[in-house]
Structure 1
């Protein structure tokens, strides 16, 4: 663009040839040739500069660049650009980064697209179809968190163009972020009490049944639980005469060859068999 504004395009074509050193215009040609060369070099990355900086004539430099970056026919270039637009995804990038990357691809496509439509109506129709396609490409590449907003956009009538679609999604993303930042953090409730009296977890000493007494629904037939030292925890049970007796252990009782009681609680001064209830005659 700078070369065209300065009216120096001829230095990249055959329009302005290098004069003989004894020609009166030779000095002016050298000056302008160096200007065009510097403009070309300034537009390159440091890596590319090293490849083209030693070419002495601007036209030679331009031809070398054209050969290096020739991608084939316009149709081939359009195919590659369209494929790139369909495969470009957000993939966790910021929304603006993804949008700008797509727009840059679309601009390259527009630069290489020639319409065969005649008249204003044909051109407007083509642009309308292209705009809708690009909205679909943009929406299809968004992260899954925008699935709901994509459905809203596709149901809108009249249809949104690409810029309006981006603005719509961007507002939703900002609202989502605002709500997320203002949402209170709920602390997870945990119960890490360890009773200092019986060693069981899940309650404190003030809530220990061994101190305050067992509730009516307490099941004394279940197996003894282990305390933090791995030893059996002592429970109190009510005996048949209504007195309270501690539990000292548990064990099986063989009643006959075919009948064994697996778990019988033992109390002080008696064996597991002594704790059996009387048989009903």
Structure 2
């Protein structure tokens, strides 16, 4: 008996010291402090169930919250069946009520799946209803990117369009910039705008050479020397 009284508050245990048996202590404590069968308790629990909605909770968290309240309701409102048929009917009725509780608190984006479950005849078991909604929740999570992922993808696309700035993101180094044309990825020594493309003839030299050739061929010589002699001179 001492293990029962020692587990109590000292102020409460004094009232049980004179009881003869452990059964007497247990029965007295149960009668005094147990609220099993209390209609007020059942009312409060039913009220909590009606007010419980998913909101920011995941489907699993929402379902677990309701399940804890249902277990508490079972404790305070035990049903005594007269026969096996009674038990079957009550169990079916209780399942249907709890499916309605679960469906009623789901967020609006589950309207389509909710309509599908409620249109099923007979109403599926509570566990089956949860499984259907939970599977849909997982499918949506897999199909939709998070906002941060979308922003990251958008930023990456913009930098690619600007040309070459992705290297800066991955390496963390500043790009090489030509001080002649102002473009990235090359220096003044390798600037095509300044020196021309590799292998291409130099425009300035061709123009000068062409001009000299035209001048030489078109201008007559009054000195009596040939063009070759003039070039030699």
CA contact (8 A) 2:37 2:76 kept: no
Q: Which residue of 2 aligns with 1:107?
A: 71
Indicate whether 1:86 and 2:50 are aligned.
yes
Question: Considering only aligned residues, what root-mean-square deviation do their CA atoms show, in Å?
Answer: 3.4
Q: Aligned match of 2:84 in 99, 120, 128?
A: 120
More helix by share: 2
- Structure 1's unaligned 5+ residue stretches are 1-31, 42-51, 191-281
Counterparts of 1:170 and 1:130 in 2: how far apart (Å)?
A: 21
Counterparts of 1:175 and 1:158 in 2: how far apart (Å)?
A: 26
CA contact (8 A) 1:90 1:141 kept: yes
3-state SS of the aligned residue for 1:147? Answer: helix
1:91 Cα deviation from its structure 2 partner: 1.9
Counterparts of 2:62 and 2:104 in 1: how far apart (Å)?
A: 12
3-state SS of the aligned residue for 1:159? Answer: coil
Q: Which residue of 2 aligns with 1:167?
A: 131
Q: Which residue of 2 aligns with 1:150?
A: 114
1:56 Cα deviation from its structure 2 partner: 4.7
Counterparts of 1:120 and 1:65 in 2: how far apart (Å)?
A: 29
The 1:135/1:187 distance shift into structure 2, 3 A limit, reads same
1:58 Cα deviation from its structure 2 partner: 8.2
Indicate whether 1:134 and 2:98 are aligned.
yes
Counterparts of 1:64 and 1:110 in 2: how far apart (Å)?
A: 21
1:117 Cα deviation from its structure 2 partner: 4.4
Indicate whether 1:36 and 2:16 are aligned.
no
1:65 Cα deviation from its structure 2 partner: 9.6
1:72 Cα deviation from its structure 2 partner: 8.9
1:136 Cα deviation from its structure 2 partner: 0.4
The 1:116/1:36 distance shift into structure 2, 3 A limit, reads closer
Return the structure number with greater relative CO, CA threshold 8 A, min gap 6.
2
CA contact (8 A) 1:36 1:58 kept: no
Which whole-Å deviations, capped at 9, do the CAs of 1:118-159 have from their partners, x for residues lacking one? Answer: 221121111101110100001111112211111111122342
How many residue pairs were aligned?
Answer: 146
